[in-house]
Every structure is written in structure tokens, then in C-alpha cells.
Structure 1
Amino acid sequence: MPHPIAEDLIASVLHRDSNVIVLNKPPGLASHGGPKTYFHVDAYLPDLKFGIQPEPTLAHRLDRDTAGCLLLCRHPKSSKKITRLFTEKLIGKTYWAVVRGAVADDHGFIDAPIGKTNDESGWRMLVHEDGQPSKTEYQVLGRGKDEDGQDITWLALTPHTGRTHQLRVHLDHIGHPVLGDPFYGRGDEPPLFGQPPTLMLLSRQIVVPFHADREPVVVDAPPPELMRPGLSACGYAGDYAPHAASVDAQYGGDGSDAEGGQESFEGDD
């Protein structure tokens, strides 16, 4: 009998073919394990074989509290092809975020280098002149107010580079941090709309041109139920993904969410 988290992941499959799988990863579940991260997508990949050997592998990663499209490769040949597509920047990714404040321009770019810093409290990414070139495109999709009457904005984000935490760092840099972000912006978010802090960041769409002579695989992820208050306040009236109760234990933990390590194809934020 599969573990409840594995059952949730099976139910969250948005696309499956002979080469790739796209999951709608629930918020609260890390992509990879770590010293204090015991529940993660990697652990349940044996349950996602769907009759193909060997088990699938992660093509990229999303941070623990980021929901949405997560791409898996179903066999080594697929993995090699997807790695090349990522390297050549041919895989398209779009994110949604609900951020604090009224973003002034309906469309724009954030072009600011990002580097890593370490101190006694741990590591984090920040905009720094010695960092790596980083560029994010944004488009306003809606505007609204939070429960205190403060401005919030719903954005579509396209990362043109793939730095760790890029989207969150860039949005904080321009004064519009993602609602519920535990590391950037205010970092100590109070309850939003009467709910515990929830990172309102979604990997909304992934475009995979696996075959040069065919239409690309295009997959959209519905936002998680936890993002409903922010998105609804900004005018979103679409569907939401059911809440994955099996990962509730990830909330209120010690914050060890395996976010460090490899560069993310991000904001694989």
C-alpha cells in the first residue's frame, strides 16, 4: 500500500507520457531530502514508475513551500534530453506570485545580480554587485487588498536565468516580497487572511519541446487551496488543487527544507 504522500503525488500527476511526468507538487513537500528533511518527492519516486523501469528522476527542483509544475524524467535517455533542453534554455517556465504592495508598472524586468551570503544564522541569497547576472520578467495579472486593506498584486513571472531563490530575491529587492515568504521580505509574516503564513508562489506552467517535429508539452498547474485568499482578492476565479493533507506535518517544522545546494532552474524556487 503506497504511503499517503505517494498517493497524493500519484493523484497530482498533470501529464504523463513515455518520456516525462509533470506533477503538481503540493506546498510543504521538499523536492530532495536533507539532514532533517525526511519527507520529500525523491523518497516516493518508486511509486511513480507507472510500469516503466527504472524509477523516474527529478529534472529540476522546487523549494519546499513552492507549489506547482515539477518535471520528472522517466528513463536515462529522457533525462539526457531534458538536461540538454534546460542547458540550452529551451524549456519554458512561468510562475505566479502574490506580492505585497502595488507594483507600479504592468510589465517590466528585474535585472540584478544575485549572490550567496553566509553568517551565523545560515545562508541566504541577495542582490549583490559581485553576484551572478540574473533577470526576471514580470506581468501584472491582477490587483487587490489584503484583510488589512493593504495593496497586494498578482504577478506572472518568467525567470530568464536560473539562480537559487531568484524570484523571491528579485521581488524583495524591488520592495514587493512574496506573501508568506519565511526568508525574504519581512521574514516573520503574521497570519494572512486568518491563515498561517503560506508562500504564495506557484510554478504555474512548464513548456517542454521534447520532440523537435511535434508540438511541445504544455502543462498548467492549478494553484493550491492555500493560495486562494491572495489570488481571489486579486481577481482570480479559476480552479484550485485540493489540499494535500498528507504533507501538513511539513508545516511548523524546523525550517530544514533542503533548499541549499544546486543551482535551481528557476526560480526553482
Structure 2
Amino acid sequence: MSVQTHIVSEDEADLRLDRWFRRHFPDLTQGALQKLCRTGQVRVDGGRVAGASRLAPGQTIRVPPLPQPSVPAASEAPAPLDPLLAKEIERMVIYRDEKIIVLDKPSGLPTQGGPGITKHVDMMLDGLRDGRADRPRLVHRIDRDTSGLLLVARTPGVAAKLAAAFRGRDVKKTYWAVVVGRPMPGEGVIDQPLARLGAGNGALVIAASRDDEDAASARTEYVTVDAAGRKMAWLALSPLTGRTHQLRVHCETIGTPILGDPRYGGKAAHPEGFADRLHLHARALDLPHPDGGRLIVAAGLPPHMRETFRDLGFSPGETPAPQRIHGPKPAAAAVKAVRRTVGGGRTGR
């Protein structure tokens, strides 16, 4: 192998040099790369550089002859995917562009694999390559029994940017839930630490005291959009933290378990006459788009929740089409108006 030069792409902006090598030359060990940097054989724009240095688009990376042949990870052929699975995940797509794909996941389908799971969203993502070298990748997860929006990045660079937006709380997530009972007060913030008991798929999450060293802080905003007396209510939930089963445990904590919850709420969550499935739906995402501005997208209710809404007299209205709000700083009034259409309007029955 002779000396090579590579130009840093837009997708690789802010990527560490060692991770750039891991992506393009996976056979090269971290120790070997550090030696190449230390001896000046690897250079960026002609200068010496450390493995932890961040890259910028347009920079030139000098790659010397490497100790052993390397194959770029992106050239790996995708694993064959069952055509029926490819069609199934294609039907889930409600938005796509050059950087992002948004899926509407049905209730009952796991997001990722685990013990005893033979079918999940992650294994189906090869069906969304659209002839591209990079395999799409999930940016976040929702529970198996929760329906609704899943965000998928087309490239590793986009995935890193979106993951940072989630960590920085620049993504607004809105869930719709039908709960048994009616919360009092009708809106507020549930500030209840949570602790995990056990491991794997059988783990439980419980409300914990603030001085519990195993507890993690957890906060959820909620608004009662509508209610059928004190029997049941339609809530719009916005998690301010991202703990496992956070919304489900928080609803149970305030005395209004989510209808049909198979794990939390006990018998109270399973009144007769309603579909015995979790009534929790990832309704809307409002996120910074990698190309600037914001993307706001919503997913319509799954069949079992539509039936329950109809029985209780709740009116979800039409599901708006995805909207890109352009500009480096989109007008707050425009963002607020779109959020109202996806978050539900409070009727206060």
C-alpha cells in the first residue's frame, strides 16, 4: 500500500481522527495508529496530529502505508434481507430525505434484538439503504409495546449529530397516552427518581427515594388533553429525561396507570371493555435537522388506540404532514404553531 490522501467529508465533521481511522481502516489497531501519529506518518493538512483531534470538512488526511491490509467498513456488502421484511419496513416510513428517515413503528415490534427476539426494527434497516454504502442506524429506541416514531440516520455522521441533539435536550418528544383515572392537577411536571430492579427484558423500574444511591433523576411534563369524567384521560407526555419505562412508571406514580400496560399499574390498568394493549404512542418529534432549521413530524394513532379514542369520545384530529422549518433560527411562533398541531389541543372536558 502506498501513501494515500483522503478529504474529510461533511458527514465526518467533528469526528475524532482515531474514529475516522476505525471507520475507514478497521484492521488498524489503536496502538498502531498512535505510533503513526506520534512519528508524524499520519498528518492532517500537513501537520502532526493526535488521535483524539477533531476533524473538519475539507481537511486532508495523509495515510501512510499501513501494517496490514485494510478494507473500508463502508464497502462491506449488506446482509441479504427477506423481501417481505424489506416491504414491511418500507411501509413504516413516513418521512425521508438525504440525511434522515422517520419510521412509524407498530405496537408489539421490538426496536432491537435480545433473548428470544427473532424480528426487530434494527435487523430490517438494510431494507432502507436505497443503494447506499452506509447502513442506516437507529438514533434512539422506544419500548416494544409502544407504537410511534423512530428516528433513523442515513450515515454515521448524521447519527452522531442527532444523538448529540438528544443528549443536549434539543429534541422535543411528545407521547400520547390513555390513562385509567384523571390526574390532579390536570397538568404539571412529574419529578420522581427511578431505580432499576434486575437485568435484561425482565427488569422492573420503580419509583425511588432521592437519597437512594441507585436512583436516577427522572422528570416528565404532562398535560390532560381530554378526559371521560374521572374514568379515563388522554395525556400528552413530554419526557425531560430519558429513563427506561419512565413514562409508564411516572403515570403509575401519580395514580393514573397507562391503559393496558402489561408490566405496571396492576389490575387497575386492565379494565374490561378496552383493548388489552399498551395505550402509549410516540406521537411527535421536533428536532434540529442536520442541514439546518427544524423537522417536526407526527404519527397517527395505532388501531387499538383509535378504537379507544372513539369509544371515549376523544377527537385526535388529522395528523399533519411532516414539516421542515428552514433557517438557522426558525421563528419561535412558527415552531410553536406546528407543535400545537402535533401535541394535541386541550379541550378540558
Fold in common (TM above 0.5): yes
Counterpart-to-counterpart distance in 1, 2:241 and 2:316: 30
CA separation of 1:76 and 1:184: change in aligned 2, threshold 3 A = same
CA separation of 1:9 and 1:238: change in aligned 2, threshold 3 A = farther
Task: Check the 8 A contact 2:259/2:270 in 1, yes or no.
Answer: no
Task: Check the 8 A contact 1:19/1:74 in 2, yes or no.
Answer: yes
Deviation at 1:193, TM superposition (A): 3.0
Structure with bigger gyration radius: 2
CA separation of 1:94 and 1:190: change in aligned 2, threshold 3 A = closer
Task: Check the 8 A contact 2:177/2:281 in 1, yes or no.
Answer: yes
Unaligned stretches of 5+ in structure 1? 241-269
1:201 aligns with 2:285: no
Match for residue 132 of structure 1 among 213, 216, 219: 216
Task: Check the 8 A contact 2:89/2:125 in 1, yes or no.
Answer: no
Counterpart-to-counterpart distance in 2, 1:190 and 1:171: 14
After superposing the two structures, state which structure 1 stretch, 186-195 or 16-25, moved more: 186-195
Superposition misfits of 4+ residues, deviation over 6 angstroms: none
Corresponding residue for residue 259 of structure 1:
none
Corresponding residue for residue 115 of structure 2:
35
Task: Check the 8 A contact 2:177/2:237 in 1, yes or no.
Answer: yes
After superposing the two structures, state which structure 1 stretch, 181-190 or 42-51, moved more: 181-190
Deviation at 1:189, TM superposition (A): 5.5
Instruction: State the AA in 2 paired with 1:206.
Output: L
Corresponding residue for residue 16 of structure 1:
96
Counterpart-to-counterpart distance in 1, 2:116 and 2:217: 32
Unaligned stretches of 5+ in structure 2? 1-80, 320-349
Aligned residues: 233
Corresponding residue for residue 58 of structure 2:
none
Where 2:226 maps in the other structure, the secondary structure is strand
Counterpart-to-counterpart distance in 2, 1:113 and 1:189: 22
1:183 aligns with 2:263: yes
Corresponding residue for residue 172 of structure 2:
92
Q: How does 1:95-114 map to 2 (within 5 A)?
A: 95-114=175-194
Instruction: State the AA in 1 paired with 2:203.
Output: W
Q: Aligned Cα RMSD in Å?
A: 2.2
Where 2:176 maps in the other structure, the secondary structure is strand
Task: Check the 8 A contact 2:191/2:218 in 1, yes or no.
Answer: yes
CA separation of 1:11 and 1:151: change in aligned 2, threshold 3 A = same
Match for residue 124 of structure 2 among 35, 44, 65: 44
Q: How does 1:1-269 map to 2 (within 5 A)?
A: 2-118=82-198, 122-129=202-209, 130=212, 131-144=215-228, 151-186=231-266, 190=270, 192-193=272-273, 195=275, 197-211=276-290, 214-232=292-310, 233-238=312-317
Counterpart-to-counterpart distance in 2, 1:225 and 1:46: 27
TM-score, normalisation: structure 1: 0.80
Alignment deviations for residues 246-268 of structure 1 (CA, whole Å, 9 cap, x no partner):
xxxxxxxxxxxxxxxxxxxxxxx
Percent identity, aligned pairs only, is 37
Task: Check the 8 A contact 2:85/2:127 in 1, yes or no.
Answer: no
TM-score, normalisation: structure 2: 0.62
Deviation at 1:92, TM superposition (A): 1.2
Counterpart-to-counterpart distance in 2, 1:133 and 1:189: 25
Task: Check the 8 A contact 1:96/1:154 in 2, yes or no.
Answer: yes
Task: Check the 8 A contact 1:113/1:128 in 2, yes or no.
Answer: yes
Deviation at 1:72, TM superposition (A): 0.5
Counterpart-to-counterpart distance in 1, 2:272 and 2:104: 23
